[in-house]
């Protein structure tokens, strides 16, 4: 049986283009700074959701002038959402829907993903803003969510991306992946650094398009892992074949001369 093949165009999420794309932007409860990447994601997304205190983070941006007032949903146990922020989003011309989910079996991140999935059973990609930041256990929890909310052999419920201040991270399922890191006629979004990390179990990987390509290379935590590899300047598409699910992460470039660390 042939292994599945997947195509990725992650740069399109952050391109400066008119119109919206079919993906949900999920703002997590981590400090944010207003920057080009955030504005582009906000403009490009078709659904904007905050996980509990993520709404506070949007509201407290130093340059906040109503740019992010059209938030559509706030969901979580609401132990972090302040009354003033709740009132602000509830009083907009198109009020945000506030959903109090008291379940103790999932994080606010998980509650938000579950809600998005229920609204879009046909599948919708999700970009989680603020991914992999703060405490180590929180970062590992966010990586855990990549596995938890993308079960099975394919991405039938949509793909999940974690966007931090310095990188974009997503899960490569067992199979062959063609990841387009440059799009014709568009800005170069990504930097040179790449990592491929098997968190769940060892994997055998092969790559093309990196400075240090490998062929049938066993990788595992406690053994060999691929970190700080480089995308070659001429590379438009990275090809990765993996025998098991692995985490893929790629660095972001500065956008319009702004600091890469647009999120604290």
pLDDT at 148: 94
- Would you say residue 262 lies in a domain? no
Q: Does residue 156 sit within a domain?
A: yes
pTM of the model: 0.93
**Which tokens is 234 given?**
């001429």
pLDDT at position 32? 74
**pLDDT in the model for residue 153:** 93
- Does the structure show a pLDDT above 70 at 72? yes
Q: How far apart are CA 179 and CA 165, in angstroms?
A: 20
Contact status, residue 123 vs residue 149, Cβ threshold 8 Å: no
User: Residue 64 has what pLDDT?
Assistant: 55
Q: Is 200 helix (H, G, I), strand (E, B) or coil?
A: coil
Whole-angstrom Cα distance, residue 106 to residue 173? 23
Q: At 111, which CATH number? A: 3.40.50.10240
Q: Would 261 be classed as within a structural domain?
A: no
How many of the other CB atoms lie within 10 Å of CB of 187?
Answer: 15
By residue range, what is the domain housing residue 150? 5-252
Q: How many domains does the chain have?
A: 1
CA 22 to chain CA centroid, nearest Å: 14
Q: Is residue 33 part of a domain?
A: yes
Residue 258 is predicted with a pLDDT of: 52
Is the pLDDT confidence value at 3 over 90? no
d(CA 27, CA 203): 31
Please report which helix (H) or strand (E) contains residue 167, including its range: strand 167-172
> Looking at the domain assignment, is residue 108 inside a domain?
yes
Tell me what pLDDT residue 21 has: 79
Query: Looking at the domain assignment, is residue 167 inside a domain?
Result: yes
């Amino acid at each position: 049986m042939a292994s599945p093949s997947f195509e990725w165009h992650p740069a399109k999420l952050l391109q400066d283009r008119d119109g919206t794309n079919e993906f949900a932007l999920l703002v997590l409860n981590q400090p944010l700074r207003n920057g080009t990447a955030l504005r582009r994601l906000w403009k490009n997304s078709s659904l904007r959701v905050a996980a509990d205190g993520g709404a506070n983070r949007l509201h407290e941006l130093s340059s906040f002038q109503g740019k992010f007032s059209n938030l559509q949903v706030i969901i979580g146990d609401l132990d972090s959402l302040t009354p003033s922020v709740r009132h602000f989003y509830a009083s907009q011309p198109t009020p945000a829907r506030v959903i109090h989910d008291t379940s103790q079996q999932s994080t606010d991140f998980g509650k938000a993903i579950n809600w998005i999935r229920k609204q879009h059973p046909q599948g919708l990609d999700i970009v989680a803003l603020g991914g992999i930041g703060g405490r180590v256990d929180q970062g590992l929890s966010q990586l855990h969510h990549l596995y938890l909310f993308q079960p099975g052999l394919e991405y039938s419920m949509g793909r999940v991306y974690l966007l931090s201040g310095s990188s974009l991270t997503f899960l490569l399922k067992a199979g062959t992946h063609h990841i387009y890191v440059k799009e014709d006629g568009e800005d170069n979004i990504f930097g040179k650094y790449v990592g491929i990390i098997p968190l769940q179990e060892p994997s055998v990987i092969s790559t093309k398009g990196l400075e240090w390509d490998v062929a049938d290379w066993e990788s595992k935590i406690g053994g060999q892992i691929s970190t700080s590899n480089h995308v070659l300047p001429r590379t438009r598409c990275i090809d990765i074949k993996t025998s098991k699910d692995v985490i893929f992460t790629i660095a972001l470039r500065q956008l319009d001369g702004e600091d890469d660390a647009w999120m604290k």
